Every structure is written in C-alpha cells, then in structure tokens.
Amino acid sequence: MLYMEATNWEIGDLDGYEQTTNPAIPGGATWHNPNLDNETVLTDALGPDRVAQRLGDVSRLISSLLLEITDTDQLHSAISAAQDRWTGCRG
C-alpha cells in the first residue's frame, strides 16, 4: 500500500496542518473532508490546469517509483534486446 499527502510546511503554525493560504479553501486545509477534498472544490479554487498538472505529476512519480522498485524497466529492456537479437539470428 502506498499513501501520499502534500502540505505546505512554511505557513500557519508551521506544523503542516494548513495546506494553503488560498482564500477559496476555508481554514487553509481540505484533508480528509469529502465536502472540500474533491475535484469540484479543488478545480474551483486552483483552476483546471493546476489540478490536471498535479494529477499528471503524481502519475509520473508513482509510475517511476514502481518501475524502479520492481526493475520492470530493466526487465523489459532485456526482453526487448533478447527478442531483437533472436529475430536477427533467425534472419
């Protein structure tokens, strides 16, 4: 299981509980509150481009992490090289 959260350690009480100074986010946090921590509220507060960018960033980060910890990229590279070599030998 992988669990990720984000915060801003440089605002509020400097304890990470306040996530933003954006006035569109009541109290500066949306964590674990389904009425606030949802696509509609976040898109309205941050704009559609930022939400899409963050989702893309998280997807790339998780994909890279999974590839790294499973050596999948190296495995598939080796398989591809072996297939190319085998195809070349059969000519």
DSSP for 36-82, please give it. Answer: TSSHHHHHHHH-HHHHHHHHHHHHHHHHHHHHHHHTHHHHHHHHHHH
Higher pLDDT, 73 or 35: 35
Confidence label for 78 from pLDDT (cuts 50, 70 and 90): confident
Residue in the structure block whose two tokens are 């984000």: 6
CA angle 51, 56, 58 (to 5 degrees): 95
Model pLDDT, residue 90:
55
Summarize pLDDT for 6-51 with one digit per residue, the tens. Answer: 788 999 898 888 888 999 988 888 888 999 989 899 999 999 899 8
Residue predicted with more confidence, 15 or 89: 15
pLDDT given at position 71: 78
Closest CA to 26 of 17, 36, 12: 36
User: Is residue 79 scored above 80 in pLDDT?
Assistant: no
